[in-house]
Every structure is written in structure tokens, then in C-alpha cells.
Amino acid sequence: MGPAWSYSAKECSADGKFSAEFDGHEIAMGAPSFGELRLYASAELLRGSINLQSGFSGDASAEAQDLNLKRKENGGESENVKFSQSGEIEQILLSEQATACFTFSDDSQFLAFAEWTADKMQLVKVLRLADMSLKTVDRLQRVAEFLSFRDGLLEILDSPIFMPESFWVDVRELFDDEIKS
């Protein structure tokens, strides 16, 4: 759980099957960072989790935003999630507009991350690692910081420096289905 002002951050899931890495730069002097967030996993694990023909399943808001959450195949470009292979480890470019604020859930089922919007606000997105489905939290943040992600509950601190406000997101409600323990 890195602060939004970090230039780089790395984190591994509790089960060791996934890792994520942020590489970015500051937007302006003293401002939060902006950059690329990548997810790493074994190629076999990802091939077992993702139906390569159908790609990812996204939420209604992702579909409404015309996000193409499909695997890059035969040289075709995808708008939001891009794959490339390096040996046995496969990397997924989750966002080119991310912040250093991302975290895995304690049970290694989810990855939450913050992403900048065009109007300089942040959206919180949650990726279910089992099937790579992506959901967006309905509330915009000024600057998001994740405090914890346990038992399906993501605790978010909005604007940690100026007028902070914390709230919880239940990913079971976000994905609107039962999370298997």
C-alpha cells in the first residue's frame, strides 16, 4: 500500500502468485504521482484464469466508457489492458494513468488500484484475479490511499493531507456475487 506520492512501488500477493509494480513520476512539484501499473504472474496461471477467446469481463461502467478489456492478440491493440510475454512470467499493463496507490486483498483474490481521470480526480478500480474481471467504485476521490483490504472490505482514505475522509467498499457488493473463501 504505497502513498500516492511515490515514484515507484512493488507489492506481492499474500499467496505469492501475483505481483504488481508501479513506475511513475510526479504530476507537478509536490503533487501525487502518475504512471504505469503492471501485474505480473506466471503465464500458466494467467492462461488458466482467462478465456483467451472472450477476454476480460468488465462492469457496466467500463462498458459505458467503451473500455476494451481484451487480451492483445495478433498485434491488435487494446485500449486499457495490454499483455506482453517475457519468458515464463506474463505482465499485464493495467493502467497508464495509475497512482502508486494499489494493494492486494489479504486472501489474494483481488487487486485494488487508483487511476487518474481526465478531470484530475481518481477512480478506484478492483480487479478480481481469478477471472480478471474489473469493477469501478462509483465514488470519485481527490487522492486515494488504501488503509486495509481484509475480509472483502477495502478501506479507502480520500485526500489524506487536506480534509481526509475514510470509507469502506465491500467488494462482495461491488462484484454482486458470492466470494468463495
Q: Concatenate the DSSP letters of all residues of 73-136 into one string.
A: -TT---SS-EEEEETTEEEEEEEEEEEEEEEE-TTSSEEEEEEE-TTS-EEEEEEETTTTEEEE
State pTM to two decimals. 0.71
Q: Distance between alpha carbon 120 and the CA centroid of its chain, in Å? A: 18
Residue 18 located in a structural domain: yes
Residue 172 located in a structural domain: no
Q: H-helix or E-strand containing 166?
A: strand 165-170
Residue 49 near residue 129, CB atoms below 8 Å: yes
Is the pLDDT at 82 greater than 60? The verdict is no
- What is the rounded CA–CA span in Å between residue 91 and residue 94? 9
Backbone angles phi, psi at 64, to 5 degrees: -65, -30
Residue 106 located in a structural domain: yes
73 vs 90 pLDDT, higher one: 90
Residue 125 located in a structural domain: yes
Confidence of residue 25 (pLDDT cuts 50, 70, 90): confident
Is the pLDDT at 84 greater than 60? The verdict is no
87 vs 147 pLDDT, higher one: 147
Q: What is the mean pLDDT of residues 71-97?
A: 57
Is the pLDDT at 1 greater than 60? The verdict is no
Residue 147 located in a structural domain: no
Residue 178 located in a structural domain: no
Range of the domain at 76: 8-141
Residue 162 located in a structural domain: no
Burial class (CB in 10 A: 0-12, 13-18, 19+), 107: middle
Domain count, the chain: 1
Residue 24 located in a structural domain: yes
